[in-house]
Structure 1
C-alpha cells in the first residue's frame, strides 16, 4: 500500500517554510508554494516549538519576516553556541510546557550569540581602521573569533562598507571563513580565481565559506582584493533600492494591504513592493524601541491624511530627524500589525531623507 503524501508529508511543511526563511532561498516556483502552505499550517496549528518561539512577536498571522528575523536566529543559536541537537529536540517536543523550558534555554544562548556577534563586529571594525583599509576593494579580516557567528559578522561588515567581505577565524591550526557579497557581484567566481590560496571553498554568488592555511592568508587577501577591483562594476559599489511605485498615504488602506498579501509570501525572488511617498511628516510620537533601542517606531501623515504607523528596524539614528518634525521623503513596504486582536496597516521603513518637497498642509499645521 502506497503512502499518502498529503497525510504523511504535510505535517512537516512548517519545518520546510522555516528552512526556506532561514536559508533566505528564492521564493519562486515550488519554494513559494511550499512556503505558502507551511505558513498556513503554522498559523492554523503550530507545533509546540513554534508556538513558544513566537509568543513574544505578537504578530499574527505569522509571515516570513517573523520566521527569518525571530524564529530562525534562535534555532540557529543552539548550533552556534552549543549543539544543533538542542534545536532538533525542541522542534520534536510535543509538550508545550517542556518546549517553553527548552526555548528559554535557547533564548539564553541567543543572547550570548548576540554578545559574541557585537564584540567580534567591533573588533573587526577596529582591525579595518588600524590597517587603514576602509577604502579597500574588499574587506578581509582575521581573528581568534567564535566560528559560529562569523557569517553574521560578515553580513554586518558588508552592510557597513558595502563591498565583498570575508571574515576568517582560526580553529585547530586552520583558518575558516564566511563571505558575503554585494548587489549582483559574483562572489563565487572571485573566490574561484583565488582558489590556489585556499584549501577548499563553496557557496554561490551571494555567500560562501572557505578554509585556508594561515601561511596563505596574506596572499589570498591580496589576490581577492585584486580580483574584486578588476571585476566589480560601478553600480555594484553603491547600495540601491528599487522603487516600484509612488503612492499618496491616503491611498494606503486595509484593502490595499489585503491585495498585496495575496502576492506573498515575500522574500528573495518575490520581493514585497517598495513604495515612495514624498513630503510626509512624523506626528510627534516617534520613539526608539527594541531590547537595544535600535529600532524606530512612530506614525507618518502626508498633508491632511490620516496618520499611519511605521516601524524602522535599525533606524533609531533617524529619531533626531523625526523629533524635529521635519518633512521627509520615505521608501517603505506595506505590512500589517496585529495587537490585542486588532490588525492594522503598518509601514516598514526602507529608507528616508529630509524632503526637498514643500508640503503646504504640513507647514500650515506647524
Structure 2
C-alpha cells in the first residue's frame, strides 16, 4: 500500500541550536528532543534522568482528601469495601493494584469485574445491586464512572457510596459520588492529565500511604502493574507517565510481582521487556481473560501471592489467549474474503461487515486489522443478546465518533472517542447504518487521510549514526504516544550484495552509503520489493534504529518502515 512520507519541521532553530550546544549533541538529536517538548538543559535532565521524586503530590488532585477521608471512615466503621474495575488491561491492573495494597491492611474487601457481555463497559446496575445485597457500603470504581451520573444516583438510593477513579473525559454533569478523582474533570488542577486508570489507582494508594506514614516502597512495589496499564491503554508516555513507565519496566525486568512473573513465563519471551513487548506479549493475554471467559481470572493472576497459584492461572489465561487468537484469525479471514469478493465493499471509503456468528470478544481486534489492511474507517458487527454489537476503528486524523453521531438515530447506543468506539443497534438497521456510515465518511474524509502516513522525525546520513548517536536515541525510551521511537530518513542508499527473503514476506539486507558504516536492515512485510532493491538502483528508506540480539551478539539494525525509489 502506498504511504505518505511527512517530515516533521521544527521551526525554532535557535532553541535547537542552543539545546545541541548545552548537551553537546548533534543538532539532529536536539531537533528530535525539541519535537518532544524538551527545550532546555533542565528539561533534558528531567527527561533523560527520571526519578520517583518527579511524581506529583497526589493531594493536588481534586477530591483526594475526600477520597482518603471516606476510606478512613469505612475502615474505622468496619464497612465492606468493593474494588470495582473494567474488564480490560487498564481496569484489571487497577483493581489488582488497589485490592493488593488495601488487602494487606484491611480484611473486609472484595473485588468485582463486570461481565463484558451481560453488563458491558463501566459501572453496571447489576454490580451496584450485588454490592447492596452483600453489604458493601463503599465502592472504589477504577477506570470508569466519570459519566455514570444515573448509576451513582441509583447507588445513593441504596446507601452505597462511590469513590470514582477515572481518566476519561467528564460529561456535562459530575456524578454525585463521595469523591471523584479524574485529572481531566473541570476544576481539577492536577499538573498531569494523561494518567491511565491504573495510574489514578496508584495516586490513590500513594495518597493513602502519605496520609498514614506508610513507606513509599510499599507503594512503588506495584509499579509493574502501572507500567502494563500505561503501555496497553496507549496513554501518553511523557511527563509523569514517563516516570511511572520507566520504573515500572525496571520492576517488570528485575523483580515483577508473582502474577506478572508467571505471565512472562507463559509468554515465553526471553530478554528485557520494552513497552512494545508489554503491549504485544502481556496485554493480549490479560485481555483474553475477559474476551473469552471472565476477566476476574486476570485479577486472580495479578493478585496471586504464591507461584503455584499464579502458574495455574497464567496457564489458563494463556490457553484463553490461544483461543482468542484462533477466533481472531478465523474472523479476520472471513472478513477479508467478504470484502475482497464484493466489488461494492472493496471500493468504498468505509468498511462495515457483519456476521452473526462472530465472537464479540475479538471484533475490536478484527476491526483494527481491517483498518490496517484497507486503511479506512471500519466497523465490525456481530449478534449479541438479541441486538447487534459493533466495534469501530478509524484512521489517523478522522473523527470516527463524529461520524457515528450522524448515525445516532439508527443506533441503540454508542460511545468511544475519535479513533475507537463501540455501538449497538437493532438487526433491521444494519443495512441503513452501513449506507449512512459510508455516506458520512465519503463526504467528510479528506482524500489524503485514506493514505497511511509515515511521520519522519529527521533526515540523516549513515555516517551520523555512531555509537553516541545510537546511545542517546536509546535513552529516549520508554517509547509510546507523544514519545514514539524516532523515525529517520536516509536518502540514496543501496543494497550491499543482495537482499534476501525471510519467512516469505520480509526483506533482509545490508544497506550502504559512500564513506559511511553499513547497516543490517529488516523490512517486515515488504518482500514484494525484493527484485527492485536488488536492481542496483539507489533508493530512500525511513526506519527505526534498534538493537538486535542474536546468540548473545548485539548489533545495530534498521527496522525499515518504508522504501521509496526515485522517480
Taking the TM superposition and a 5 Å limit, the aligned residue runs for 1:1-366 are 2-4=212-214, 6-54=216-264, 56-60=268-272, 62-96=273-307, 99-128=310-339, 129-130=341-342, 132-143=344-355, 144-278=357-491, 279-281=493-495, 284=498, 286-289=500-503, 296-303=507-514, 305-318=516-529, 327-353=538-564, 355-356=565-566
- Which sits farther off after the overlay, 336-345 or 234-243? 336-345
Q: Deviations over 1:221-251 (max 9, x none)?
A: 1211111122211221211111122222333
Q: Kindly tell me: are residues 323 and 77 of structure 1, through their superposed partners in 2, closer, same or farther at Cα, counting changes over 3 Å?
A: farther
Distance of aligned partners of 1:316 and 1:95 in 2 relative to their CA distance in 1, 3 Å threshold = farther
How much has 1:69 moved relative to structure 2? Answer: 1.7
- Structure 1 residues not aligned, in runs of 5+: 358-366
Q: 1:130 to 1:234 in 2, by over 3 A?
A: closer
Q: Decide whether the 8 Å contact of 2:381 with 2:388 is kept in 1.
A: yes
1:22, 1:68 within 8 Å by CA — same for their partners in 2? yes
Instruction: Work out the CA distance in 1 between the residues paired with 2:558 and 2:362.
Output: 30
Q: Which runs of 5+ in 2 are unaligned?
A: 1-210
Check conservation: 1:284, 1:325, Cα contact below 8 A. Answer: no
Distance (Å, rounded) in 2 between the aligned partners of 1:317 and 1:112: 32
- Specify whether residues 131 and 346 from structure 1 end up closer, same or farther in structure 2 by C-alpha distance, changes over 3 A only: same
Structure 2 contact 416–422 (Cα < 8 Å) conserved: yes
**Cα 1:270–1:95 shift into 2, 3 Å:** same
- Structure 1 residues 153 and 316 mapped into 2: Cα distance closer, same or farther (>3 Å)? farther
Question: 1:296, 1:314 within 8 Å by CA — same for their partners in 2?
Answer: yes
Number of aligned residues: 352
Once the two structures are overlaid, the 10-residue window that deviates more, 218-227 or 248-257, is 248-257
Residue 68 and residue 310 in structure 1: after superposition, are their counterparts in 2 closer, same or farther (change >3 A)?
A: farther
Q: What is the deviation of 1:267?
A: 1.2
SS of 1:242's equivalent? strand
CA contact (8 A) 1:282 1:299 kept: yes
Preserved CA contact (<8 Å) 1:58 1:338: no
| Deviation of the 1:348 alpha carbon | 2.1
- Pair 1:322–1:77, CA change in 2 (3 A): farther
In structure 2, C-alpha distance between the alignment counterparts of 1:161 and 1:38, rounded to whole Å: 36
Cα pair 1:176 1:212 within 8 Å, conserved:
yes
Structure 1 runs, 4 residues or longer, greater than 6 Å off: 323-326
Alignment deviations for residues 90-109 of structure 1 (CA, whole Å, 9 cap, x no partner):
32334456544543443333
The SS at the match of 2:328 is: helix
Partners of 2:471 and 2:536 lie apart in 1 by 30
Match of 1:360 in 2: none
CA distance in 1, matches of 2:316, 2:338: 33
Deviations 1:186-232 (A, max 9, x none): 11111112111111111110111111111121121121111112221
Q: Which protein is bigger by CA-based radius of gyration?
A: 2
Displacement of 1:160 in angstroms is 1.5
Please identify, of 325-334 and 180-189, the stretch whose mean Cα deviation from structure 2 is larger: 325-334
Alignment partners' CA distance in 2, 1:27 and 1:342: 30
CA change 1:10–1:224 in 2 (3 A) is same
User: Using a 3 Å threshold, how does the CA distance of structure 1 residues 232 and 250 change in structure 2: closer, same or farther?
Assistant: same
8 Å contact kept, 2:499–2:507: no
**Which range moved further: 246-255 or 113-122?**
246-255
79-88 or 192-201, larger mean C-alpha shift? 79-88
